[in-house]
Amino acid sequence: MDFNSILLYSLPIFCLFFTIWKIIDQKRHQHCYILDYQCYKPTDDRMLSTRFCGEVIRRNKNLGLNEYKFLLKAIVSSGIGEQTYAPRMVFYGREECPTYDDGISEMEEFFHDSIDKILKRTKILPSEIDVLVVNISMLATMPSLSARIINHYNMREDIKVYNLTGMGCSASPISINIVQNIFKIQKNKLALVVTSESLSPNWYSGNDRSMILSNCLFRSGGCAILLTNKLSLKNKTMFKLKCLVRTHHGAKDESYNCCIQKEDDQGRIGFHLDKTLPKAATRAFVDNLKEIAPKILPIRELLRFAIISTLRKFNQKYKGKFGPRPVINFKTGVDHFCLHTGGKAVIDGIGANLNLSEYDLEPARMTLHRFGNTSASSLWYVLGYMEAKKRLKKGDNVFMISFGAGFKCNSCLWEVVRDLGDGNVWEDCIDNYPPKTLANPFLEKFGWIQNEDPSTFYVPDDYVIP
């Protein structure tokens, strides 16, 4: 056989192997890894104690006795402790008339602290970052917040930038999804995700119960996450993204309107939380689980659940017996549950639906107690708690679940790449958690209000808080 014949026969084989190699190489570069993350802890002069919460409530002259009682009950039952953080304008007594600079300075204080720390720790230069994703739902600036970051850190001119607004508490997985899709088509990239919420321009000073509730739940915070698909950095990474699912029920009016920013009857802008919120959240949660469960759970668990469900339907049809409602066991494919700290009721509800233990719920409960609901960044504080407690071991799977306006439920599964144990934002207080009790002393300090007469009640200007 001559050389031309050999070449003729070998060329198709060579092309086949080259194509296979290209596919394999492309798959290797498509993975999305977390190189590092840094949660933000504001300075102690922004700490919102129980005592100061009472002062802030007293300053709102639009509240009557019933609204005061409602707020007290909400704070006591929220699961939030006395060391959370609020924006500076609250401490200056300007929550009713915040300035544009209040929102800007609140965000820049977070940006400079968290981004500086993550770049210093990873030894990554700002000029090396290829993608920047910023999600701050309720603050729009000109230039954008992402442009402010680029200007401050002198980033490259060809950096790919995504500035997200209005995504709510579930914005983090949306940002990760954007980076994931970029990594699928571009090799050797570094991406910085910056997630937070600006509370300064969004403090509600009216008396609508559905809107004053947000003042009790949301707190200042944020997180910077550095992601990559560089194989050269694989051994330095912390987590590998295995699966991400987004569910959006915005087409349903009830879901769309259950969590929305609007004006009250007096024209004051606030964040309305409707009574239909639990129902909308449950629907989105169930639909999300239906889609992600087959992707993250072993076949044996899916078969077990399918068989039990079929038997239950059979008994219902032919014997009139319902039997216990079958529950799929997510623990067969998940080692740790990273839950959005939307409130005590949210954590309890997810725990009941997934049949989780107190050990599973502890990271979310402790995060809510220490940092409150920091909106889209709350998931990373929960993850930081797990890491600080040295729960995360190589090969473990971490399931993140978040909810947000729209109404949305987003979830993702991370694989722990190496044993982790850094304190992150919990470093100076992790030994104090979990505390002996999560009871809030608010009612004890302000019990005087329970004996007031609604018809004669007024807030005494000279009242001294005990």
Q: Does any domain span residue 253?
A: yes
The 3-state DSSP class for residue 239 equals strand
398 belongs to a structural domain: yes
Domain of 147, in residue numbers = 29-297+333-420+427-441
Sheet containing 190-196: which strands, arranged edge to edge? 160-164, 131-136, 190-196, 222-228, 33-39, 239-248, 408-416, 397-404, 336-339
Name beta bridge partners: 408.
248, 404
Half-sphere exposure (Cβ direction) of 386: Cα atoms closer than 13 Å: 26
Flag whether 70 is in a domain. Answer: yes
Residue 450 covered by a domain: no
Number of compact structural domains in the chain: 1
Q: What is the pTM of this model?
A: 0.89
CATH number of 187's domain: 3.40.47.10
Does residue 62 lie in a domain region? yes
Rounded to 5 degrees, what are φ and ψ at 141? -125, 165
Domain assignment of residue 460, yes or no? no
* Peptide bond preceding 434 in cis form (omega within 30 of 0): yes
Residues with a known catalytic role: 169, 248, 336, 340, 369, 373
319 falls within a domain: no
Provide the residue-wise pLDDT of the chain in tens; the chain has 466 residues. 566 666 566 666 666 665 665 555 555 557 999 999 999 999 999 998 877 877 787 787 787 777 777 777 777 778 888 899 999 999 998 888 889 999 999 999 999 999 999 999 999 999 999 999 999 988 889 899 999 999 999 999 999 999 998 888 899 999 999 999 999 999 999 999 999 999 988 888 888 888 888 888 899 999 999 999 999 999 999 999 999 999 999 999 999 998 888 888 888 888 888 888 888 999 999 999 999 999 999 999 999 988 888 887 777 655 555 556 778 899 999 999 999 998 888 899 899 989 999 999 999 999 999 999 999 999 999 999 999 999 999 999 999 999 998 899 999 999 999 999 888 999 999 999 999 888 776 656 655 555 656 665 555 444 443 3
Are the beta carbons of 150 and 132 closer than 8 angstroms?
Answer: yes
Report yes or no on 306 lying in a domain: no
